[in-house]
Amino acid sequence: MLQGWFQIALTLCIIAAITPILGGYMARVYQGDRTVLDRLLNPVEGLLYRLTGIQTQEAMTGWQYARAILYSNLGMALLIFLIIANQGWLPFNPTGVGAPTWDTVLHTTISFITNTNQQHYSGETYLSYGSQLWGLGYPMFTSAATGLAVGIAFIRGLTGRPLGNFYVDLLRSITRILLPISLVGAIVFIAAGVPETLAGTVVIPTLEDPTVSQAIARGPVAHFEIIKQLGENGGGFFAINSAHPFENPSPFTNLLQIVGLMAIPTSLIYTYGIFANNRKQAWLIYGMVLVLYSAFILVVGIGEYQGNPAVNALLGGQVPNLEGKEVRFGWAQSALYAVSTTGTMTGAVNSLHDSFMPSGGFVTLSDMFLQIVWGGQGTGTAYLFAYLILAVFVTGLMVGRTPEFLGRKIEKREVVLASFLLLLVHPIAILIPGAITLAFPDQLGGISNPGFHGLAQVIYEYASAAANNGSGFEGLGDSQPSPFAIAAGATPTTTALWWNLSTCFSLLVGRYVPITALLLLADSMSRKQPVPLTTGTLRTDTGLFIGVTAGVILILGALTFFPILALGPIAEAFQIAKGIG
């Protein structure tokens, strides 16, 4: 037990040590200061700007920034759709796989362009190497860079600066942050045993019966793996994601993956501190999120270490819950990974979340409901500061002071945008399609588990889509037959069609409506005249205010989604306890 908790503590220390280094570097990148890559990349970027006609000094308004995101993402989505739909005759298809069903292609396209990477397919049997390399690898960079651009534009607006130029922010996010780290990370993964090859599957005889052959899938995995984690994408090259020994062969690669998925969202808070010239406030906010994150790890870790009481009764002693887990990682690394991947909206998994104890389901759902522990790529940091704006407003009402944040008054427009963003959009994207599915479970759901766990499975799928996380409880009929199965005569199902189309609604609403609201909120803040500090100003860089903010976050999250948690994981926990008693 102590070894498991020590591993978790060591990982958190590594992440905390990286924060000021990467956070400071990102601040220099987005402030236009000199970096070590300038001499190499400035000529390349200059050529791209001239070819595309981008005016690098032209700052955008909130609407212009949002439109640039929507137009560019639409163009990229069309390209991705065409690549996957035509993979049957495109190159790099050693297994000769045909095109998936149209709804699978549509869902996959929208899922990857929104930085969600929710997968209703198995990568090794549905997609060619070309689709994995171009159709999926390409948006893994651009969607992550889009989120980073939104996050940094929001920070600029919050601190009174112009929002900047989306195309410049997008390009610099890729060339200065994502691509250099991914190149180094891919080499490290290759050295650690992750394959990187364009060769096809390997067919070998099985150990049990040499006359029976087994096809072992492989492919260009290493470079896919690093951007999967660093960009908070989460989509697996193989069906079982980071539980697969080719994606995650050892405890060392597991550590690299956790550090990779945590690096940027944690460091962005420090980047904000540099922009705001208030590192104290940044560290206080960082500490608040770290406490929530650590508490969630503690809840999941205790539940998994104590194990399933029913199993313990059968074995006559306490054992960790290892069902659905890789013994290479055990209960501790599985718990840490689950909280980290749902907290950062990465969505990669090294164990089956469906197999966790109810406390694990409670925490992973809560992560996606809150979206700020540590949140999505760039957008999570913006959500966090939207909560701060609401906390300033609520606190100002309680103590009778004018609500101000960073010297700028919080007025009706800011409160409406923050409330719309945090209290309306996310519940709509989750609860409406969830209610429809639960109303017709046999016709639409394909739910494998009745009762409390089945409800959690359904809501988890839509929460994962709306939060742009991508992980799943599974146990749902959300996959169409593979191209090979369809060629052999299998027919698509209406259940999978429903899941593909309904989660597309959650993916789009959960991505682009909040992004637009965030940019309008940032634009509104950037246009306000700063107000001098007085004795009546409510300071936001104190431990007391950060504590109030944590309360506001938990109360708003609990009020919105607690009924789901009560009817799902909490009820399931009582059911298990009652069965033992």
Most confidently modeled of 164-168, 473-477, 488-492? 164-168
The pLDDT score that the predictor gives to residue 581 is 40
The pLDDT score that the predictor gives to residue 395 is 84
- Residue 196: phi, psi to the nearest 5? -145, 90
DSSP, res 436: H
Alpha carbon separation from 471 to 225, 316, 330, 357 (Å, rounded): 16, 34, 19, 17
Residue 295 in tokens = 């508490």
Mean pLDDT in residue range 264-271: 96
Calculate helix-pair angle for 379-399, 543-565, nearest 10 degrees.
110
Q: 215 - beta bridge partners? A: 203
The pLDDT score that the predictor gives to residue 534 is 66
The pLDDT score that the predictor gives to residue 517 is 93
SS percent in the chain: helix, strand, coil, step 5: 65, 5, 30
The C-alpha atoms of residue 410 and residue 404 are separated, in whole angstroms, by: 5
How many percent of the chain have pLDDT more than 90? 62
The C-alpha atoms of residue 37 and residue 40 are separated, in whole angstroms, by: 6
Residue 455 in tokens = 């409800």
Mean pLDDT in residue range 457-486: 91
Residue 205 in tokens = 């005889």
pLDDT tens readout for residues 405-451:
878 888 888 888 888 877 889 999 999 999 999 888 777 766 777 78
- CA nearest neighbour of 471 among 479, 461, 480: 461
Contact 14, 259 (CB under 8 A): yes
Of residues 531 and 553, more confidence is placed in 553
- CA nearest neighbour of 158 among 2, 413, 389, 327: 389
- CA nearest neighbour of 425 among 467, 388, 393, 391: 467
Report how far apart the first and last C-alpha atoms of the chain are (Å, whole number).
26
pLDDT of 302 over the 60 cut:
yes
* E-assigned strand segments in 185-285: 202-205, 213-216
pLDDT tens readout for residues 332-384:
999 999 999 999 999 999 999 999 999 999 999 999 999 999 998 888 888 99
- Whole-structure pTM value: 0.94
Residue 456 in tokens = 């959690």
Q: Is 84 exposed, middle or buried (0-12, 13-18, 19+ CB in 10 A)?
A: buried
The C-alpha atoms of residue 468 and residue 117 are separated, in whole angstroms, by: 8
The pLDDT score that the predictor gives to residue 536 is 65
The C-alpha atoms of residue 431 and residue 465 are separated, in whole angstroms, by: 12
Alpha carbon separation from 224 to 125, 140, 176, 191 (Å, rounded): 17, 9, 18, 15
- CA nearest neighbour of 378 among 268, 263, 480: 268
Mean pLDDT in residue range 14-23: 96
pLDDT tens readout for residues 185-227:
999 999 999 999 988 888 888 888 888 888 888 889 999 999 9
Residue 54 in tokens = 């981008």
In the three-class reduction of DSSP (H, G, I as helix; E, B as strand; rest coil), residue 351 is classed as strand
